Amino acid sequence: MELVLPPWASFVGVVLATVLLLKAVFGRGRRVYNLPPGPKPWPVIGNLNLVGTLPHRSIHELSKRYGPIMSLRFGSFPVVVGSSVEMAKFFLKTHDVVFTDRPKTAAGKYTTYNYSDITWSSYGAYWRQARKMCLTELFSAKRLESYEYIRAEEVSALLRDLHGAAGGVVMLKDYLSTVSLNVITRMVLGKKYLDKETTAQNGSVTTPEEFKWMLDELFLLNGVLNIGDSIPWLDWLDLQGYIKRMKKLSKMFDRFLEHVVDEHNERRRLEGQSFVAKDMVDVLLQFADDPNLEVKLKREGVKAFTQDLIAGGTESSAVTVEWALSELLKKPEVFTRATEELDRVIGRDRWVTEKDIPNLPYIDAIVKETMRMHPVAPMLVPRLSREDTSIDGYDIPAGTRVLVSVWSIGRDPKLWDAPEEFMPERFIGNKLDVKGQDYELLPFGSGRRMCPGYSLGLKVIQVSLANLLHGFKWRLPDGMTRKNLSMEEIFGLSTPRKFPLEAIVEPKLSAHLYATA
């Protein structure tokens, strides 16, 4: 009996034959990469099933199994994780320019005016111009020094506020966020747009409480593992609801930033030729007017940079000081040693100033140890390889997303004795610094993509913490012991405490110092 094929069968056969032929022809010349070791990926999801709600901890455990350079797959995209000093140096120094790009993410698209900020903008003329702007103008040593009085005034306000709350339980993050936010808004925006008096006078564009929520949401959404970023064909479904939240947040921020830019432009218009830049938004608007810029800085770019400056300057300081106090409350002997240093160097008749910090090595050691154990960005901001690269016989193809796990480096037993123990003493007599040159300690990153405002953040952290320890006794609320103080974190672009620190504060200096602080 003769087999009769349906009319479409021959067409299918031709298509299949063509596909196989094309695969044979084009596959023959395709390079076969020797990727770093890592777990076998699943179809579609890759290794996303191995990443929990705290990705930095999941990846740390995987790196202990697969080594200091590890290959993963997040959905459709290859990912390489470096988790040693040598790997950090490879990605952030030796081949920094190769890994200077950023992956395209929903957060960059929806919360930073379509990648118009410093953090998420692609490597190229626009980003290079922005980086130069930060280094030479916005965060120059001269400009930061000119704003020292602002930092001093806001730290004094913090001390007065805490004195007013003495004897009761305080939620420390609220106070720390307020001082950081006031410092940064005065430097960037020219005034405290967000204190209760100002919002009452100007009409409420947003409230301080709402704005702090916006900052927390911004950092969370910029660090989450959004499924659509890994599996693009699922992006439209917004399975986790993150994109909806990003769009809502973007509208809220834009309402505030439009108000800020309008006010600054109005002052420039009224003052005309006599106008002098007083804050960072003024400087940005002057750049926007510069016809000689390689890439035109548009209004959206000004707003994106402004948002970057406010968010970056607020979150890192508040999170780090809160973690430092948390660790000290669990280790009273460290608290005692810090107090002894402050009493010896500062005395009990004045407050700590920024100029005192070089003479307070133990306070500096506490800050460094806090940043080792609780880096604000535990895997830094993801990078993207711009071309094929190799290391130790392994290939890293162009288009690979790169994570540098400073969390793992900070817990490497080859580098640190008892790495899970909070021991500031390890930094006494140790010349390791946080300025991006010592790869054992990289809380602000390193290389071209290093946080441009790290020096400002460091100043606020050091002087705030020093005065909190100098001016007050701290203890846990009644009924809470050191052992049951939770040290859990939540993950985003920053890694704050899961449960905000609550403590009882008591003044320990002369009463007149708090009145004049």
Q: Where residue 211 sits, what CATH number does that domain have?
A: 1.10.630.10
By C-alpha distance, which of 448, 358, 337 is closest to 95? Answer: 448
The pLDDT value given to residue 199: 55
**What is the spatial distance between Cα 102 and Cα 360, in angstroms, rounded to a whole number?**
38
**What is the spatial distance between Cα 117 and Cα 224, in angstroms, rounded to a whole number?**
18
Taken in order 450, 177, 207, 241, is the CA torsion positive or negative? positive
At 169, which helix (H) or strand (E)? strand 169-171
The pLDDT value given to residue 515: 84
**What is the spatial distance between Cα 440 and Cα 422, in angstroms, rounded to a whole number?**
16
User: Does residue 179 contact residue 304 with C-beta atoms inside 8 Å?
Assistant: no
DSSP per position, 262-300:
HHHHHHHHHHGGG----SHHHHHHHHHH-TT-SS---HH
By C-alpha distance, which of 223, 224, 250, 226 is closest to 238? Answer: 226
The pLDDT value given to residue 313: 78
The 3-class SS string of 381-423 reads CCEECCCCEEECCEEECCCCEEEECHHHHCCCCCCCCCCCCCC
**What is the spatial distance between Cα 24 and Cα 260, in angstroms, rounded to a whole number?**
59
**Apex 454 CA angle, 139 and 173, nearest 5:** 115
Q: Is residue 118 in some structural domain? A: yes
**What is the spatial distance between Cα 352 and Cα 354, in angstroms, rounded to a whole number?**
7
First to last CA, the chain: 103
Residue 318 corresponds to which tokens in the numbers above? Answer: 């508040």
Q: Is residue 97 in some structural domain? A: yes
Q: Is residue 4 in some structural domain? A: no
Please, is 131 exposed, middle or buried when counting C-beta atoms within 10 Å of its C-beta (0-12, 13-18, 19+)? middle
Phi-psi region at 479: left, alpha or beta (left = phi > 0; alpha = psi -120 to 50): left
Bridge partners of 170, per DSSP, are: 503
Query: 134 a known binding residue?
Result: no
Q: Is residue 22 in some structural domain? A: no
Quickly tell me which residue has 């008892």 as its tokens. Answer: 418
At 473, which helix (H) or strand (E)? strand 472-475
Residue 113 lies in domain: 34-516
By C-alpha distance, which of 242, 226, 230, 229 is closest to 72? Answer: 230
The pLDDT value given to residue 352: 97
Please, is 394 exposed, middle or buried when counting C-beta atoms within 10 Å of its C-beta (0-12, 13-18, 19+)? middle
The pLDDT value given to residue 17: 45
User: Does residue 462 contact residue 367 with C-beta atoms inside 8 Å?
Assistant: yes
Q: Is residue 174 in some structural domain? A: yes
User: Does residue 440 contact residue 434 with C-beta atoms inside 8 Å?
Assistant: no
By C-alpha distance, which of 314, 285, 239, 319 is closest to 497? Answer: 319
Q: Is residue 92 in some structural domain? A: yes
Please, is 400 exposed, middle or buried when counting C-beta atoms within 10 Å of its C-beta (0-12, 13-18, 19+)? buried
Give all strands of the β-sheet with 502-507 in edge-to-edge order.
169-171, 502-507, 472-475
**What is the spatial distance between Cα 59 and Cα 70, in angstroms, rounded to a whole number?**
9
Q: What are phi and psi of 78, to 5 degrees?
A: -75, 140
Residue 314 corresponds to which tokens in the numbers above? Answer: 């607020």
The pLDDT value given to residue 208: 85
Q: What are phi and psi of 442, to 5 degrees?
A: -130, 55
The pLDDT value given to residue 201: 57
Residues present in the chain in total:
517
- Give 207's Cβ-side CA count (13 Å radius): 3
Q: Is residue 6 in some structural domain? A: no
Q: Is residue 436 in some structural domain? A: yes
Going from the C-alpha of 344 to that of each of 200, 315, 362, 430, the distances in angstroms are: 44, 31, 12, 21
Domain count, the chain: 1
**What is the spatial distance between Cα 171 and Cα 161, in angstroms, rounded to a whole number?**
12
**What is the spatial distance between Cα 76 and Cα 41, in angstroms, rounded to a whole number?**
10
Residue 133 corresponds to which tokens in the numbers above? Answer: 């702007």
The pLDDT value given to residue 15: 38
The pLDDT value given to residue 459: 93
User: Does residue 129 contact residue 413 with C-beta atoms inside 8 Å?
Assistant: no
Neighbouring C-beta atoms of residue 403, cutoff 10 Å:
24
**What is the spatial distance between Cα 253 and Cα 240, in angstroms, rounded to a whole number?**
22
The pLDDT value given to residue 204: 62
Q: What are phi and psi of 474, to 5 degrees?
A: -125, 140
Low-confidence ranges of the chain (pLDDT < 50): 1-28
